[in-house]
Structure 1
Amino acid sequence: MLTFAAASLVLIMIPGPDQALITRNALAGGRRAGLLTMVGGMLGLSVHVGAAVLGISALLLASATAFAVLKVVGAAYLVWMGIATLRGARHTMKEDAQGDGAGDQEAHGGRHLRHGFLSNALNPKVALFFVTFLPQFLPTHGVLPKALLLSLVFAVIYVLWFSTYVFTVDRLGTWLRRPRVRARIEQVTGLLLIGFAARLAFQSP
């Protein structure tokens, strides 16, 4: 269990679409936006956890066509998010830093959830992770209870890590939300999202 927890923490800490989207939304909408994006990401992970436990992900990965379709849709979504972030960076310099937070949190809570959910639910690499990584820690008997327990451990680590990350971003928010700083972060985030999309597009099952 400790080995699984340590490996999960390392994998969660590796920069990816989750971190890019959470950073983007936390800067634009504050702590609540970042946490909602994290919850959406957790819900997206739960789709793959359930599918992996039931064996659906293994069937998906065995079908080249199904994998390709999911990969293209996921990559297209990340490209769209990347472009939207780059376009947002152009407007950031004109925004009032103090009028940027609470209204966006209230108006777009559902959007932040959707960002996090789709980022993971449409990512076949997440399915690949749970199909290839999880079985290494499962016994030959009593697989379902242990798989659910390990999935819960992964979820807890995910929430703890990104909650800490969101609170850190929010604590540094006064400096990070300065128009020039935030614009640079949005530009880097947009390019990272497009880069993740390119890497996903060339991912093999």
Structure 2
Amino acid sequence: MDFTSWLSLVAVCVLGAISPGPSLAVILRVSISQSALHGVCAGLAHGLGIGFWAFLTLQGLAVVIEQYQQAFSVLTILGGLYLAWLGVKSLRYAGKGQDEKVEAVKSSYWESIRDGLMVALMNPKIALFFLALFSQLVDSEMTAIMKIQFWTTVVAIDSGWYILVALLLAGGPVLLWLRRNIVWVDRVMGCLLILIGLKVVIG
């Protein structure tokens, strides 16, 4: 995997990780209602859940690429359109996630791990996201080491972001700033996803 492809993977994964949604709501709930360490446990588990989807997508795409070249070309275009659609959705609903409420409940570390893992595993949109992303970066000659690099990058970025949320953002000044500027955060992410998607479709 060349450095440019890796940077593309990092950029899109970071955008996907920081995008407000049910995962962020769960990690915030765990961190605020329990403790930062509970949030770290949930964040690590969420990263492994994301890694599960990434692994399945990598394995499946290798077969598609090798046996169905035309289908893969269509998949590539659909992937670009999907990324652009995510961008449009981010622009359309900019700021709508900031009113998400969190509920304080007592739980063990294992329950925090369960919450973080399940919110990832029970979200099929994650599979579509990786299908769109990997269709731009994976080829039929990708080695096992390259796949491990992809998988490790995905898990590290996702886990790292939610650990950061648990340690620094829960109740801190950064979270307050993000909430005050959530409309612009959503708009910037939306524009970037649209540009990436259009670049893929246009070629």
Query: Could you tell me the TM-score, scaled by structure 1's length?
Result: 0.60
Instruction: Indicate conservation of the 8 Å contact 1:78/1:119, yes or no.
Output: no
* SS at structure 2 position matched to 1:172: helix
Question: C-alpha distance in 2, partners of 1:29/1:175?
Answer: 17
Residue 59 in 1 paired to residue 59 in 2? no
**Whole-Å Cα distance in 2 between the matches of residues 127 and 120 of structure 1?**
8
Report the CA distance shift for 1:194/1:46 in structure 2 as closer, same or farther (over 3 A): same
Residues 187-198 of structure 1: pairs in structure 2 closer than 5 A: 187-198=183-194
Partner of 1:186: 182
Change (3 A) 1:80 1:189: same
Contact 2:75–2:135 (CA under 8 A) maintained in structure 1? no
Q: 1:164 to 1:71 in 2, by over 3 A?
A: closer
User: Is 1:45 matched with 2:42?
Assistant: no
Give CA deviations for 1:30-64 in whole Å, capped at 9, x if unaligned: 2466556544543443344224432527725763x
Match 1:163 to one of 145, 154, 159: 159
Q: Find the partner of 1:130 among 113, 118, 138.
A: 138
1:20 aligns with 2:8: no
User: In structure 1, what is the Cα distance between the partners aligned to 2:48 and 2:181?
Assistant: 22
Q: Is 1:9–1:158's contact at 8 Å kept on the other side of the alignment?
A: no
| Unaligned runs of at least 5 residues, structure 1 | 139-146
Matched, 1:151 2:141: no
CA RMSD across the alignment:
4.0
- Give the TM-score normalised by structure 2: 0.61
Question: C-alpha distance in 1, partners of 2:199/2:181?
Answer: 26
Aligned residues: 177
Report how far residue 127 of structure 1 moved: 1.4
Counterpart-to-counterpart distance in 2, 1:188 and 1:33 = 27
Query: What residue identity is the alignment partner of 2:17?
Result: I
Work out the CA distance in 2 between the residues paired with 1:49 and 1:117. 10
